[in-house]
């Protein structure tokens, strides 16, 4: 969603291109005693990012192991393969390998065995991608004790980042705040630009909200509600904010809910005095505050003590379309809806809580940071696609082209400006008159889709077979996301 909003800003306004703040210098405390989040302390400066002490930074005298901290000898190759599959979003194959490791352990076969801690690490990360944060926490928390005195390693980086996401998804704001502080402290000096962008919002916002009361959800009966396509082509739904009616944008990948300042004041919400500046939401600096909404209602679902980020109206105003974003429903609210079916008749059918029906057909999907990744294709031969219900453009990547190059012989090549890579020149691409992907057992034909012929050098764009945007989803009769069973299904007629 952040990529989609960024693209919308570029298309509908005239703003500078995205820039990313680097790590700021800060005092260097004892490397094994990370800063603690104390009640007297939203007062730690959220804009000052703790840095890893120089002696612990890669390339600064530290001995950083590139293999697994838990694996030894031949175990490393097996662990390295799992690591490559994880980076490549090949979650189904990871499951198979972990099951094979179980079988190898029971049969005494040494070739496919993993140390118990290594297996526990990958199972915990996989539980995170499958949207089971409590299971992931159960598996990963015990491993922290084994990493506390070690020099920073790739295993620790993966573990700490995953745990921070788990706490945030589980709604444990104090633990999430502490986990992001420790992650930044241990690895902030070695994070790439994209990695720093990915953690910027929770790292800066959590110190403002970690003492707020936890949000509770009261789920009612299944219901339907209408939706509109806003001026950006995205989905707006009717909500009640402390009893007042408004339309908010759906964004299941945003880590927080958001509300504009004028609406927050109109409702009478208390806005924090403290504020932080973030850039990764829209690609330009935004000064944001926070608030708590006492009661928030969607259909038959009531949220109490909903935390929201407060943005200035001008930061989410699109002058060319004369459109003002009033609020954004992020992951905390959307996932609590259970199952959402978006229909071509401009309705959303919601199956909330334990009362709602559960989707068991279709394709499996996973959460990887701020992306929804779906396994599309025949069973046993799936390919991983991003599904962006908040982005307008569908395209297929060079991975897809490599498997279908023969279909484009004698066709004219074009240039494509890809969302999320505006600072790069247009990339060579072909236009596919039609391409078919399978969502579970349902074939879906994509019409007039551009196919990139070479990687763009951006992992977020290159590491899947393509992105299904709103232009593709709007051709369907309906599509469903069930956050309880992690299934994505479609109907075409």
Q: What is the pLDDT of residues 207-226, one digit of tens each?
A: 999 999 999 999 999 999 99
Q: Give the tens place of pLDDT for each residue, 384-409.
A: 999 987 777 899 999 999 999 999 99
Q: Which two tokens stand for residue 252?
A: 């299941």
Q: Which of 35-39, 60-64, 153-157 has the lowest mean pLDDT?
A: 60-64
Residue 118 to residues 88, 153, 281, 325, 461, Cα–Cα distance (Å)? 19, 13, 35, 45, 29
Residue 39 has pLDDT above 70, yes or no: no
Complete DSSP assignment for 97-123:
HHHHHHHHHHHT-STT---HHHHHHHH
**22 falls in which pLDDT band (50, 70, 90)?**
very low
Supply the pLDDT for residue 417: 77
pLDDT of residue 209: 97
Domains of the chain, earliest start first: 216-338 (2.40.70.10), 363-491 (2.40.70.10)
Range of weakest confidence among 143-152, 168-177, 462-471:
143-152
Q: In terms of Cα–Cα distance, which of 82, 66, 172 is closest to 118?
A: 82
pLDDT of residue 76: 57
Question: How confident is the model at residue 108, as a pLDDT?
Answer: 56
Give the Cα separation of 288 and 285 in Å (integer).
10
Percentage of residues of the chain with pLDDT beyond 90: 59
Let me know: does 76 contact 67? Beta carbons within 8 Å.
Answer: yes
For residues 398 and 74, the model is more confident at 398
What's the Cα-to-Cα distance from 72 to each of 68, 140, 186, 292, 468, rounded to whole Å?
7, 20, 24, 49, 41
Which residues are within 8 A (CB) of 182 and not within 5 positions of it... i.e. 6 or more apart? 34, 35, 160
Give tens-digit pLDDT for 444-467: 999 999 999 998 877 767 889 999
Decide if pLDDT at 192 tops 80.
Answer: yes
Angle between helices 133-144 and 116-129 (to 10 degrees): 150
Say if residues 349 and 355 touch (Cβ distance below 8 Å).
Answer: no
- Where is pLDDT greater, at 445 or 355? 445
Task: Give the C-alpha separation, 349 to 206, whole Å.
Answer: 32
CA atoms within 13 A on the CB side of 356: 26
For residues 67 and 80, is the Cβ–Cβ distance under 8 A?
Answer: yes
User: Is the pLDDT score of 19 beyond 90?
Assistant: no
User: Does residue 377 carry a pLDDT above 90?
Assistant: yes
Q: Which residue has the higher pLDDT, 264 or 234?
A: 264
The model's confidence at residue 60, banded by pLDDT at 50, 70 and 90, is very low
DSSP labels, 247-265: EEEE-TT-SSEEEEHHHHH
Which residues 6+ apart lie within 8 Å of 389 measured at CB? 235, 250, 252, 342, 372, 470, 473, 481
Give the pairing type, strands 257-260 and 244-250: unpaired
What is residue 476's three-state secondary structure? coil
- Give CA separation, 117 vs 95, 96, 114, 124, in Å: 16, 18, 8, 10
Predicted local confidence at residue 245, as pLDDT? 94
Q: What is the DSSP letter of 409?
A: T
Q: What does the pLDDT read at residue 318?
A: 87
Q: Is 112 left (phi over 0), alpha (psi -120 to 50) or beta?
A: alpha
Q: What is the mean pLDDT of residues 374-387?
A: 95
Phi-psi category of residue 227: left, alpha or beta, with phi > 0 → left and psi -120 to 50 → alpha: beta
> What is the C-alpha separation between 311 and 296, in angstroms, rounded?
18
- Say whether pLDDT at 34 is over 60: no
Query: Which candidate, 119, 204, 127, places its Cα nearest to that of 170?
Result: 127
Q: Residue 337: pLDDT above 60?
A: yes
Q: Is the dihedral of CA 404, 409, 412, 415 positive or negative?
A: positive
- Report the alpha-carbon distance of residue 178 to residue 3 in Å, rounded: 27
Q: Is residue 386 within 8 Å of residue 467, measured between CB atoms?
A: yes
Question: Mapping DSSP to helix (H, G, I), strand (E, B) and coil, where does residue 14 land?
Answer: coil
Residue 49: pLDDT band by 50, 70, 90 thresholds? very low
Confidence of residue 293 (pLDDT cuts 50, 70, 90): very high
Separation between Cα atoms, residue 76 and residue 84, nearest integer Å:
12
The overall average pLDDT reported for the chain is 82
**Are the CB atoms for 278 and 286 separated by under 8 Å?**
yes
Distance between terminal CA atoms of the chain? Answer: 28
Q: How many helices (H) and strands (E) does the chain have?
A: 13, 24
What is the rounded average pLDDT of the residues 338-354?
92
Are 338 and 482 within 8 A, CB to CB? yes
Name every residue whose Cβ is closer than 8 Å to that of residue 189 and which is 6 or more positions away in sequence: 23, 51, 52, 54, 57
Encode pLDDT of 98-150 as tens digits. 988 776 655 555 555 778 898 999 999 999 999 999 999 999 999 988 877 67
Q: In the numeric block, which tokens belong to residue 227? A: 């939706």
Higher pLDDT, 347 or 105: 347
> Under a CB-based contact definition with an 8 Å cutoff, are residues 436 and 449 in contact?
no
Percent of the chain clearing pLDDT 70 (strictly above)? 81
pLDDT exceeds 80 at position 75: no
Q: What are the residues whose beta carbons fall under 8 Å from the beta carbon of 96, sequence distance 6 or more?
A: none
Distance from the Cα of residue 286 to its chain's centroid: 20
Helix (H) or strand (E) holding 174, with range, is helix 173-187
Give CA–CA dist 492/469, Å, rounded. Answer: 16
DSSP 54: G
The confidence score (pLDDT) of residue 321 equals 86
3-state secondary structure of 79: helix
pTM: 0.82
């Amino acid at each position: 969603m952040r990529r989609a909003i960024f693209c919308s800003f570029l298309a509908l306004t005239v703003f500078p291109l995205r820039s990313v703040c680097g790590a700021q210098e800060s005092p260097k405390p004892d490397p094994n005693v990370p800063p603690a989040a104390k009640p007297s302390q939203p007062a730690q400066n959220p804009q000052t990012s703790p840095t890893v002490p120089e002696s612990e930074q890669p390339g600064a005298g530290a001995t950083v192991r590139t293999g697994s901290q838990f694996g030894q000898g031949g175990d490393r190759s097996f662990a390295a393969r799992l690591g490559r599959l994880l980076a490549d979003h090949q979650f189904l194959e990871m499951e198979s390998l972990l099951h094979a490791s179980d079988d190898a352990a029971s049969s005494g076969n040494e070739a496919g065995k993993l140390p118990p801690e290594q297996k526990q690490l990958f199972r915990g990360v996989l539980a995170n991608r499958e949207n089971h944060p409590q299971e992931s926490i159960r598996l990963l928390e015990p491993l922290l004790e084994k990493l506390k005195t070690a020099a920073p390693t790739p295993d620790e980086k993966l573990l700490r980042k995953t745990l921070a996401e788990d706490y945030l998804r589980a709604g444990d704001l104090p633990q999430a705040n502490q986990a992001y502080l420790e992650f930044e402290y241990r690895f902030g000096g070695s994070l790439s630009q994209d990695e720093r962008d990915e953690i910027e919002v929770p790292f800066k916002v959590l110190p403002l909200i970690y003492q707020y009361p936890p949000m509770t959800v009261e789920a009612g009966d299944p219901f339907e509600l209408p939706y509109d396509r806003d001026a950006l082509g995205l989905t707006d739904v009717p909500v009640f904010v402390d009893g007042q009616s408004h339309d908010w944008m759906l964004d299941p990948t945003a880590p927080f809910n958001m509300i504009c300042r004028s609406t927050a004041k109109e409702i009478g919400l208390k806005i924090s005095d403290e504020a932080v500046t973030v850039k990764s939401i829209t690609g330009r600096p935004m000064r944001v505050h926070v608030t708590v909404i006492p009661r928030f209602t969607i259909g038959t679902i009531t949220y109490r003590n909903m935390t929201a980020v407060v943005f200035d109206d001008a930061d989410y105003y699109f002058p060319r379309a004369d459109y003002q974003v009033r609020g954004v429903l992020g992951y905390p609210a959307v996932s609590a809806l259970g199952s959402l079916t978006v229909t071509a008749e401009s309705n959303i059918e919601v199956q909330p809580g334990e009362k709602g029906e559960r989707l068991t057909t279709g394709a499996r999907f996973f959460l990887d940071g701020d992306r929804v990744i779906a396994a599309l294709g025949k069973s046993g031969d799936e390919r991983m696609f991003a599904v962006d219900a908040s982005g307008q453009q569908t395209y297929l990547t060079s991975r897809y082209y490599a498997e279908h190059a023969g279909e484009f012989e004698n066709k004219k090549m074009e240039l494509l400006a890809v969302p999320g890579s505006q600072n790069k020149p247009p990339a060579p691409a072909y236009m596919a008159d039609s391409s078919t992907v399978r969502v579970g057992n349902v074939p879906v034909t994509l019409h007039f889709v551009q196919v990139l012929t070479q990687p763009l050098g951006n992992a977020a764009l290159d590491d899947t077979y393509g992105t299904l945007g709103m232009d593709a989803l709007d051709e369907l009769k309906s599509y469903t996301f069930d956050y309880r069973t992690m299934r994505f299904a479609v109907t075409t007629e």
